[in-house]
Each structure stands twice: as C-alpha cells, then as structure tokens.
Amino acid sequence: MSTIDYSEKIPNNVDLANDRTLQRALEHWQPRFLEWWKELGPNDFANSDVYLRTAVGVDAQGWAHYGTVKMPDYRWGIFLADPIADRTIGFGDSFGQPVWQQVPGEFRSQFRRLIVTQGDTEPASVEQQHRLGHTCPSLYDLRNLFQINVEEGRHLWAMVYILHAYFGRDGREEAEELLARHSGDVDKPRILGTFNEPIEDWLSFFCFCYFTDRDGKFQLKSLAESSFDPLARTCRFMLTEEAHHMFVGETGLGRIVRRTLEVMKEIGSDGPEAIRRRGAVDLPLLQRYLNFWFSSSLDLFGSEVSSNAATTFANGIKGRPDETTQYQDHVCADSSFEIEVPDGKGGIIKDASPMRNAMNEVLRDAYIRDCEIGLKRWNMQIKRAGYSFELKLPSNRFRRSIGAWANIPTDLEGRPIGREEYDRCMPGWLPSASDRDYVKSLMQRVVEPGKMAAWIAPPERGVNNLPVDYEYVRLN
Ligand code: BYC
C-alpha cells in the first residue's frame, strides 16, 4: 500500500516532490482554493474545533484517522487508490488492451469535459451548503456536514490534480474556472442543474445527500472503470468517502421519519396540521421534498439517448458501474436497450436504442433501483408503527428538464397530462412556498451536546464509537 506523505505542503501519495513543475503549479492553485474555501465554504466556523476524519492511507484499514481539526487547517491532498497490476481495458472498442497511463490525444477533449463536469460538482455542493451550519439540528449533524464539506473540497483537489498533471495549460485554466463558477450564479453558474439549486434547510440537505450524492456514486463508479488509469484510481478512492455522504442522507431522512412517527403516536393523529403544531415534518411534506430532489437528480444522468454516452463508452472513457462483475457483454456493439419516449401525441411509446447510446439510461435505471432501498426501509418503519402511508419515488418521466421527457408535463406516475392540469397540481407535488416557510421555521440551531432539534430523532450511534452526546464541534 502506498502511504500518504503529510510532511509535504500538499499531502499526497503520487510522489509530487519528484515532479517540481507539477508541484509548483499545484502550490500556485492551493492559495486560491483556500481563498475560495474562506469565502464560500463554511467560513463562519473557521475557528471551530471539529472532530474530523482524515485519510492516512488508501487501503481499507489505513484511510481513516479521526481527530479534532479547525477546518481551514484540514490537510486536503491528492490520494489515488493503489494501482492494479496488469490492469486491462474493461469495456468498449479497445477491450482487453493495457490501460493508459496518459490521456490519448484523440480522446483528450472528451476526457477533459467529463473531468471538468465531475470537478465542478464538488465545490458547487460546498457552496450550496455554505450557511447550513447556522441551523444545525445537533452537534452530531453539524460535524457530519463539515466532514462532507471537507471531503468535497478534497474531491475537487482530486480532479484538479488530474487536470494539472495530464492536461497541461488548458487543464490549469480549467482548474481556475472550477473556482470561478459558482452555484446559482446568474452569469457563471455551475455546469449541472441540481448544483445550482439552493440548499437552505436540513431537509433539503438530507435529500441532496440521499439522491444527489448517490448520482456521485454512480458517476464515480463509471469513471472508476475508465481506461485512463490515474482517473480510475482517483475515483476509486473518492468512492470510499462518498459512501459516508449517502449514509448521512439515508440516516438523516430515516431519523426524520422516526421522529414524525413518534409525534403521530403521541398525538394520536396523522394530520399534517397537528404534526406541524408539534414541530415535526409531516410525511406528505417529506414526500414533496423527495419528489423535488429525486426528479432534479435524475437529470444528472443526461439524455436517455446520447451520442456523447455512446462515444465515451466505445472509446473506453466512461464505463458502467461494476462493469466487470455486473455485465457479460463489455463491448455492446450489437445490442439494444428499450426506452420509453413520448409519442408526440400525448402518449408513450417504447423505442429500441443501440445499447451504447442508451448508457445514460442504463445508469439511471440502476440508480433508481438503488434509491428504492431507503424508501423500502422507511416504509417498513411507517408500516410497523401502524400507518398505511407509503413514501414513493415519482416516475422517471416526472418534471424532467433534460432528455426525451424534458418539459413534457406528466403526473407523478409519469402519465402525460395537459399543461394546465400540471400547473394546477404542481403545488401539491413539490414543496410549496408555505411548506418551505414551515421547514424554515423549524431550522433553529441546537448545539448542546447530545440534544436534537424537535423534528429529528437522535442517531442510533455516534461517530467512531463515541457517544451521541460527544462534543463533536467546539464552536469557540
Ligand atoms: N444539467 O448527451 P447528454 C457528484 C449536458 S455528482 C445541465 O444528454 P452526456 C456529487 C451535458 O453536459 C456526479 N446540463 O449527456 C454529488 C452536455 O453538455 P455539452 C457528477 C446537463 O453528455 C453530490 C449536454 O447536456 N459527475 O459527484 O452523456 C455532491 C448533452 O448531454 C445535464 C458527473 O456527472 C444536467 N443535469 O452527459 C458532490 C460525471 N445533464 O457537453 C458531488 C461527469 C447533461 O453538450 N459527467 N447535461 O455542453 C458525465 O458523465 C456526463 O457529462 C453526464 C451526461 C452524466 C452529465
């Protein structure tokens, strides 16, 4: 296993000290990153002591070291998973050939586009969550938010390393641009839609971690299959950190459901008004937040039929998650995939697309199945408590802005409907202004160790075997 050198200004396991030009270029970028972090990261908590996990190695045992850190002193660095000896290309036209240690010239712009898109999401999410610390429901949750923020910062470093090390001057320019675009900026927004949505409350934050970080899992797994080995290795390591972000989303939403069920039991009612009087999140309100973040995150997979997706698969640039273990045919030159598209007359038809062009949809399908798992768990909780309410994912045709269903009005089940009916029903399907006001009213900060806001149950256990009432953040 390669170890991480923490004596360096930029901790790394890529032997940066022996590449002075690259080291200088990255050391030039480092203060810009810190300036960005100070301006748009969780800057009001710069003096707080936070119980954080830092990577010390890249294997299963070595990568987690816990300790108290002030966030601006976090050791962001460059960590690649160890190489796999004699790794060969796992999919596409060059299947079976040795993987590449450099970017082939003919695929340069395709690689750069994907790496920049991936890199752009990381600082975007930190920007989206910039002010959340002020309304944390507990110190435990505050610490988890900050853990996620510093790790997204590190994931930005991961993509910036690849850009600097393998893309020369245009890579360095792209790295600057990653700090120049900002979430929600009118003139220079982030690249992908969801990363421009504000996250101003913790219900949105947990939905984002559940749905949007899960897109991260699927995209990173696809890039971890890449024939460009340094990209594959960096994504493999990023995935270990991503798992915690989804855990925060899943347990956060599960704890909200648990608290709501407790309140429903206490008051003997499932009426939203009565639940709100007790300061909890009624389940129909939760459902509307799920509808919003799920439908937005579905767009992140791109169009159902995409020539970009076909090209990146054919060229060995971006594969499918778990390409080796989940699929028999790694070339997909002759197969097809059935997709549902609008028939142009208000209905739905099935259409066969060449498999390579349908890769975005293949990923989206797998993603939807993965999203279902948490809902099943929460629905079990609800059922066990004796209620018949069921949380549901809306159809993948609902409220889409990208692809075949973009701007086609459908109901939650994905049935095409008239624009008028759609506009009329929408306030019941997505969080309304009054829903958002209510959720905002719940966002009162709780910072006494072990105490939780009234709308969320405590976690089952603390971090790294510490008790739930440990002082995970000292606010100073
Ligand atoms: N919004 O052929 P198309 C994460 C663009 S999350 C706006 O349909 P293609 C994280 C697309 O870029 C994972 N634009 O699909 C989570 C293209 O633009 P250009 C992020 C969109 O090309 C939480 C055009 O539409 N990583 O890590 O196959 C916290 C036509 O595209 C959207 C990646 O996504 C959208 N939703 O693109 C922190 C991996 N969707 O080039 C982090 C890298 C598509 O014509 N990206 N477009 O100007 C990719 O693999 C692919 O670019 C896409 C699909 C998945 C985005």
pLDDT greater than 70 at residue 60? no
Cα atoms in the 13 Å half-sphere on the side-chain side of 80: 19
**Rg (alpha carbons) of the chain, rounded to whole number:** 23
Pocket lining: 242 vs ligand 1, CB cutoff 6 Å: no
Q: What is the mean pLDDT of the chain?
A: 96
Q: Which helix (H) or strand (E) holds 422?
A: helix 419-429
pLDDT digits (tens, 9 = 90+) for 328-349: 999 999 999 999 999 989 899 9
Helical packing angle, 359-384 and 307-314, nearest 10° = 100
pLDDT bracket for residue 449 (50, 70, 90): very high
- 344 is written with which tokens? 């142009």
At residue 5, the pLDDT reads 75
Single-letter code of the amino acid located at 220: L
Could you write out the DSSP letters of every residue in 213-241? HHHHHHHHHHHTT-SBHHHHHHHHHHHHH
Q: Ligand 1: which residue has its CA nearest to atom 21?
A: 192
Single-letter code of the amino acid located at 472: Y
Eight-class DSSP state of 315: T
Largest Cα–Cα distance of the chain, in whole Å? 68
pLDDT greater than 70 at residue 357? yes
pLDDT bracket for residue 1 (50, 70, 90): low
At residue 59, the pLDDT reads 72
State percent of the chain over pLDDT 70: 99
124 Cα nearest atom in ligand 1:
38
Determine phi and psi for 385, rounding to 5 degrees.
Answer: -80, -5
Contact assessment for residue 161 and residue 26, using Cβ atoms and an 8 Å cutoff: yes
Residues in CB range of 154: below 8 A, 6 or more apart: 55, 76, 77, 79, 241
pLDDT greater than 90 at residue 6? no
Mean pLDDT of 363-389: 97
pLDDT bracket for residue 63 (50, 70, 90): low
193 Cα nearest atom in ligand 1:
1
pLDDT greater than 80 at residue 361? yes
Determine phi and psi for 474, rounding to 5 degrees.
Answer: -100, 115
Pocket lining: 121 vs ligand 1, CB cutoff 6 Å: yes
Q: Is the dihedral of CA 191, 194, 197, 201 positive or negative?
A: negative
Mutation test residue for ligand 1: of 109, 117, 238, 341, the one with most atoms within 8 Å of CB: 117
At residue 7, the pLDDT reads 78
Pocket lining: 299 vs ligand 1, CB cutoff 6 Å: yes
Contact assessment for residue 178 and residue 123, using Cβ atoms and an 8 Å cutoff: yes
Mutation test residue for ligand 1: of 308, 363, 400, the one with most atoms within 8 Å of CB: 308
Cα 45 to ligand 1 centroid, rounded to whole Å: 32
Q: Ligand 1: which residue has its CA nearest to atom 46?
A: 114
Distance CA 121, CA 124 (A): 5
pLDDT bracket for residue 65 (50, 70, 90): confident
Contact assessment for residue 190 and residue 120, using Cβ atoms and an 8 Å cutoff: yes
Pocket lining: 321 vs ligand 1, CB cutoff 6 Å: no
pLDDT digits (tens, 9 = 90+) for 148-182: 999 999 999 999 999 999 999 999 999 999 999 99
Question: Which residue has better confidence, 98 or 243?
Answer: 98
Mutation test residue for ligand 1: of 303, 339, 357, the one with most atoms within 8 Å of CB: 303
299 Cα nearest atom in ligand 1:
36
- 201 is written with which tokens? 């409350």
How many residues in the chain?
A: 476
Angle of CA points 88, 89, 92, to nearest 5°: 155
At residue 61, the pLDDT reads 62
Single-letter code of the amino acid located at 89: I
Residues in CB range of 310: below 8 A, 6 or more apart: 354, 356, 357, 359
Mean pLDDT of 216-224: 98
Beta pairing partners, 12: 5, 78
pLDDT bracket for residue 64 (50, 70, 90): confident
Pocket lining: 301 vs ligand 1, CB cutoff 6 Å: yes
